[in-house]
Structure 1
Amino acid sequence: MVEVVDRVVDQSKVDSLVSQGIPSAFARLLAARGVSQRSEIEYSLQGLPSFESMKGIQSAASQLTDAILNKKRLLIIADYDADGATACAVAVRGLRMLGGLVEFIVPNRFEYGYGLSPDIVELARERQPDFLITVDNGIASIDGIRLANQYGIGVIVTDHHLPGDELPDALAIVNPNQPGCDFPSKALAGVGVMFYVLLATRAEMRRRGCYEQQPQPNLASLLDLVALGTVADVVPLDALNRTLVHQGLQRIRAGQACAGLNALMQVAVKGHQQAGCYDLGFVLGPRLNAAGRLEDMSLGIQLLLTDTSSVAMDLAAELDELNKARREIEADMQQEALSLLSMKVEDDRYSLVLFEKDWHQGVIGLVAGKLKEKFHRPAIVFARGNDGELKGSGRSIPGFHLRDALDLVSKQYPGLILKFGGHAAAAGLTIDEQHLDTFMNAFEHVAQTWLTPKQLKKLVETDGELTIPEFDLALADQLANAVWGQAFPQPVFRGDFFVSDQRIVGERHLKLRLVPKGGLIEIDGILFNQPDFLPEEVSLVYRLEVNRFRGKTQLQISVQHWAGKL
């Protein structure tokens, strides 16, 4: 059941924004997201908070500067998702721009699992590095870093995941979520943390006089990758992250993205001039992620590191094929999951925990996300790992902190969870297969303790109704060019409409002509995955979009939810 509610708007913030030159309709949307000053949406690089308040970053910058100047061998330890891949590419490109001797390895998730494990240290040791630098991982790698220290290999951790009770014994830890860090934003993705480390390292090199005889490198050239990783990792888009994403999109739209990102846009048949957050999160991100989900993320990282267009196109085409295979696997697994649930969830069940022996480990997180969306409950999906273990990936709903829930289960049942980590909304874990039922019951108990029946009812927040003059191509274009995402959601509106015409396109989508109630205008509409006709009068929740097709630019309503009028 979906309940539609309107966002609360502080009229004083609307008035303040209008007085600063923001059009009233757009001002209302910004105010509903807590914005009160025009400067909050100007997204200047000069407005970024300084790296100086980030705990550990000065030590990391000093260590890296020493390593660069003394020609030490640096080895990046990457992660196998889009954030990890972009963070790795930013680290390799950035450190090379600063003069570093740097290579990378990325663990195959099916062989080594996540993070800087002792096995990965052994693998890395074959490269004879002087330093290991983790990106998007490392905060939980206690044993791996201990082994690296025994081998005399220094480790610098850059991560953004929530730390456990014990921190690793690294040369430096840069993570805004570690205890005692005063950095104002706790929402940076792994790629954002690495970008900040590069800024600090360049500043340290400048302090030591490295740029007295030569220009300093332009690290802003890496912001296309920072934007991609930030949006793809679904971190909250606070003011800092919105600035990074905005600046990255500006580079992409200007044709200044790296060859690999441009190639991904081409295989997806997307023009870079109108690139937006949707493209980063739902077009480019999944194609990059497909490498880590089904095969080896080194393919995706190689794409982001190449400067040769022909090589980039070949790699992007390979990723596109992997993404098609991923979609098929995901669709089959989702259908099987729904069958296991008998297409419904009992009201007295507050969580979903599912396992099938043939499910693919690389896709379980996506299926968990789909189940969470459909049933509005925390969902964890397991697949078989190695040696009798199950690998699980979970997604959660507002009000239920998934990592904290797993932490509580691990404390209540010592040894039940072999390892876990993640965020409020997403987490991963490993258990023994024989303990699946015990875990399922323990997790359900936590869900029933922490959640109320009201929280299991899905709320769709809208920005209210549009007036007839606000059905405007200029407003839609302004929305398309703005930065939206997690915790700063893309605007959706509600309203009553007459359906003047409708037809099925692409076998399963509805093309609509809609007349707003009380208006004398007709607007094109699209409703995806709806093969049946709508009633003549409907209540809609929708997005206002710009539809560019065959050289034409038109206003379009993209329907998200609908209900018939009584």
Structure 2
Amino acid sequence: MPAAAWPADIPPLLRRIYAARGANHADAARPRLAGLLPPDGMLDLDRATGLLADALAHGRRILVVGDFDADGATACALAVRGLRMLGAGDVMHAVPNRMVHGYGLSPALVAELAPLRPDLLVTVDHGIACHAGIDAAKALGWQVLVTDHHLPGERLPAADAIVNPNRVGDGFAGKSLAGVGVMFYVLLALRARLRAEGRLEGKGPDLGQLLDLVAVGTVADLAPLDANNRALVAAGLRRLRARQGCAGLMALVEVAGRRAESLVAADIGFAIGPRLNAAGRLEDMALGIECLLCDDPARARELAQRLDAINRERRDVQQSMLDEAEQALSAQMLEAFGRGGEGMASICAFDAGWHPGVVGLVASKLKERLHRPVVAFAPSEPGSASLRGSARSIPGFHVRDALAAIDARHPGLIERFGGHAMAAGLSLDASRLEAFEAAFHAHAGSVLDAATLQATLDSDGALAPHEFDRVHAEALRDGGPWGQGFPEPLFDGEFDVAGWRVVGERHLRLDLRADGVQARLAAIHFGAWRGDPPPGRARLAYRLVPDDYRGGDAIQLVVEHLEAC
């Protein structure tokens, strides 16, 4: 499309960045809800809406069972709110406790929920691997509808309907939906069915009111931001920026110290999502779901403050575990990894004192530090012989497929597993940890080569001197949503380091000079302080952002990587 077709508010810099991500015109760069993929081809969608419509028509009890991460929590709140909007009078919800029930719909959770006597149980963001739990629910005479997005195994559970775009043979093109996105599509289809049957007034309720939840769950779960997900997330962000989000999310924005008017996807990923996730990691996600379902601003603020306190505790636990994990890795191993292409191709870490709710974050941090697939383990509960592991991967290594290959090669070694290309979870007996570690290292070594094990940063090139200004910083901020699969713009260049200081014990505040730029540039490099001063001239990979703290025309560079020239 010629340049004239671009709106005037999209500067040439942003057009270049969009083109590098495969979006060569405005509609592709900024997809709208009007262009959402239709649900055509989703397997079992008619059966799913039939179950729900029948439950609504006969006043049957619906029990929504969520999961203990941000995607599962937002999907649960969305399902409850959406079903009530569509006329359900008896909707309840529940969520497993990580420490008590483990992942998903387990027989133990079903037994605990039995006194609720639901007619229809709906799973959100899980269920595709919950064979035993679904069998237990069916044995009690309950109907079961599974909505999920995780990759299915060779055998599907015996549910009455399974809506999952990643099922083999599913014709829906949007394979990147998060769990909350799948449930949103089910609600859209249910509304269409009720409308066609004449059971709604006019067009029915505006389900767009739920897009704030869709945005938070999608970004927090690191779902790839293809065009369909970008349309959903952008619409949800618009609601949050206009302060039209649910009371719980607006309270979380407030306690996180973010400005609603300039909220971006990164604020969800680094501020809102972690506060929701913290409840499921250290306590009970029921608290997070209560916050998302709360309509009283004062009560929502109280709940958000509790989640914020739990998140601070989570950060302390995580840092302690990370320090222990890094100390456990020998200096020689770290040195080999630093050179790249040497040493083992993967890492397995375990400590009997670690918290199972935080091992995923530790695995993620180690993966970032070492650029290796990492599996971190902790006892499922203190003193238990059962271990829970979280895996995080690097591009070129599909970690869920790796676990499947190990399971096929060593039957019975892994008790259960599931996940995606970049993240997965598993459980195994402590006596088998050494055998698993050997199998994981062997598989990684056979798949990964030296080039894949070398960390790289993809840059959008250099900024021109005139582009270091507030206009371009705001255009980049507002040009998203940026995220997984549609990365936030990253630039590189050489700078003179005119000054520096340590802030917050771990971060570097830099004062930079750039060729052709008259004003000095403020920069922050998070977590960079290792005891050595930065070089006098450095090559940086950085993001350009508005500096809202200083206000006015202020900008700053957020440094992702620094090396001496």
TM-score bracket for this pair, using the shorter chain length: over 0.9
Please give the alpha-carbon distance, in whole angstroms, between the structure 2 residues aligned to 1:52 and 1:169. 23
Q: Structure 1 stretch 441-450 or stretch 554-563: which is displaced more?
A: 554-563
Is 1:374 aligned to residue 369 of structure 2? yes
Match of 2:178 in 1: 189
Match of 2:356 among 358, 361, 376: 361
Match of 1:452 in 2: 449
Shift of the alpha carbon at 1:266? 1.2
SS in 2 for 1:52: coil
Match of 2:536 in 1: 536
Match of 2:315 in 1: 327
1:308-350 Cα shifts (integer Å, max 9, x gaps) = 0111011111101100000000000000000111243452301
| Matched residue count | 550
Q: Tell me if the contact between 1:16 and 1:36 (Cα under 8 Å) persists in the aligned partners.
A: no
Please give the alpha-carbon distance, in whole angstroms, between the structure 2 residues aligned to 1:239 and 1:17. 21
Is 1:526 aligned to residue 529 of structure 2? no
Match of 1:438 in 2: 435
Please give the alpha-carbon distance, in whole angstroms, between the structure 2 residues aligned to 1:123 and 1:52. 37
Match of 1:427 among 404, 408, 424: 424
Please give the alpha-carbon distance, in whole angstroms, between the structure 1 residues aligned to 2:321 and 2:3. 47
Q: Tell me if the contact between 2:376 and 2:389 (Cα under 8 Å) persists in the aligned partners.
A: yes
Match of 1:269 in 2: 257
1:2-59 Cα shifts (integer Å, max 9, x gaps) = xxxxxxxxxxxxx745653443211111111111221113332111011122111121
Match of 1:3 in 2: none
Aligned-pair identity (%):
48
Match of 2:471 in 1: 474
Shift of the alpha carbon at 1:215? 5.7
SS in 2 for 1:122: helix
Amino acid of the structure 2 residue aligned with 1:135: V
Match of 1:124 in 2: 113
Please give the alpha-carbon distance, in whole angstroms, between the structure 2 residues aligned to 1:209 and 1:123. 38
Match of 1:505 in 2: 503
Please give the alpha-carbon distance, in whole angstroms, between the structure 2 residues aligned to 1:374 and 1:18. 44
SS in 1 for 2:456: strand
Shift of the alpha carbon at 1:499? 2.2
Amino acid of the structure 1 residue aligned with 2:520: E
1:153-179 Cα shifts (integer Å, max 9, x gaps) = 000000000000000111111000001
Match of 2:157 in 1: 168
SS in 2 for 1:391: strand
Please give the alpha-carbon distance, in whole angstroms, between the structure 2 residues aligned to 1:18 and 1:505. 46
Amino acid of the structure 2 residue aligned with 1:110: M
Match of 1:248 among 236, 241, 258: 236
Seen in structure 2, the aligned counterparts of structure 1 residues 406 and 506 have a Cα distance that, compared at 3 Å, is closer
Amino acid of the structure 2 residue aligned with 1:313: R
Shift of the alpha carbon at 1:508? 4.0
Is 1:282 aligned to residue 270 of structure 2? yes
Please give the alpha-carbon distance, in whole angstroms, between the structure 2 residues aligned to 1:333 and 1:507. 18
Please give the alpha-carbon distance, in whole angstroms, between the structure 2 residues aligned to 1:516 and 1:550. 20
Match of 2:126 in 1: 137
Shift of the alpha carbon at 1:507? 4.2
Please give the alpha-carbon distance, in whole angstroms, between the structure 1 residues aligned to 2:137 and 2:502. 60
Please give the alpha-carbon distance, in whole angstroms, between the structure 2 residues aligned to 1:168 and 1:499. 59
Match of 1:78 among 63, 66, 86: 66
Shift of the alpha carbon at 1:286? 0.3
Match of 2:339 in 1: none
SS in 2 for 1:201: helix
Q: Structure 1 stretch 496-505 or stretch 319-328: which is displaced more?
A: 496-505
Please give the alpha-carbon distance, in whole angstroms, between the structure 2 residues aligned to 1:152 and 1:506. 57
SS in 2 for 1:406: helix
Match of 2:49 in 1: 61
Please give the alpha-carbon distance, in whole angstroms, between the structure 2 residues aligned to 1:383 and 1:503. 37
Please give the alpha-carbon distance, in whole angstroms, between the structure 2 residues aligned to 1:181 and 1:519. 53
Q: Tell me if the contact between 2:5 and 2:25 (Cα under 8 Å) persists in the aligned partners.
A: no
Match of 1:153 in 2: 142
Is 1:548 aligned to residue 532 of structure 2? no
1:443-498 Cα shifts (integer Å, max 9, x gaps) = 11100111001111101111011111222311110111121000111011000112
Shift of the alpha carbon at 1:505? 3.5
Amino acid of the structure 2 residue aligned with 1:114: Y
Q: Tell me if the contact between 1:372 and 1:396 (Cα under 8 Å) persists in the aligned partners.
A: yes
Amino acid of the structure 2 residue aligned with 1:165: E
1:110-156 Cα shifts (integer Å, max 9, x gaps) = 11111111122212221000010000000011122122222210000
Q: Tell me if the contact between 1:260 and 1:306 (Cα under 8 Å) persists in the aligned partners.
A: yes
Match of 1:217 in 2: 205
Q: Structure 1 stretch 422-431 or stretch 23-32: which is displaced more?
A: 23-32
SS in 1 for 2:198: coil
Seen in structure 2, the aligned counterparts of structure 1 residues 72 and 524 have a Cα distance that, compared at 3 Å, is same
Unaligned runs of 5+ in 2: 337-341
Match of 2:297 in 1: 309
Match of 2:102 in 1: 113
Q: RMSD over aligned Cα, in angstroms?
A: 1.5
Shift of the alpha carbon at 1:536? 2.2
Q: Structure 1 stretch 378-387 or stretch 332-341: which is displaced more?
A: 378-387
Match of 1:20 in 2: 6
SS in 2 for 1:203: helix
Seen in structure 2, the aligned counterparts of structure 1 residues 204 and 464 have a Cα distance that, compared at 3 Å, is same
Shift of the alpha carbon at 1:433? 0.5
Please give the alpha-carbon distance, in whole angstroms, between the structure 1 residues aligned to 2:129 and 2:394. 24
SS in 2 for 1:548: coil
Match of 1:239 in 2: 227
Amino acid of the structure 1 residue aligned with 2:379: R
Q: Tell me if the contact between 1:18 and 1:27 (Cα under 8 Å) persists in the aligned partners.
A: no
Please give the alpha-carbon distance, in whole angstroms, between the structure 2 residues aligned to 1:396 and 1:530. 23
Q: Structure 1 stretch 505-514 or stretch 408-417: which is displaced more?
A: 505-514
Please give the alpha-carbon distance, in whole angstroms, between the structure 2 residues aligned to 1:137 and 1:464. 40
Q: Tell me if the contact between 1:17 and 1:38 (Cα under 8 Å) persists in the aligned partners.
A: no
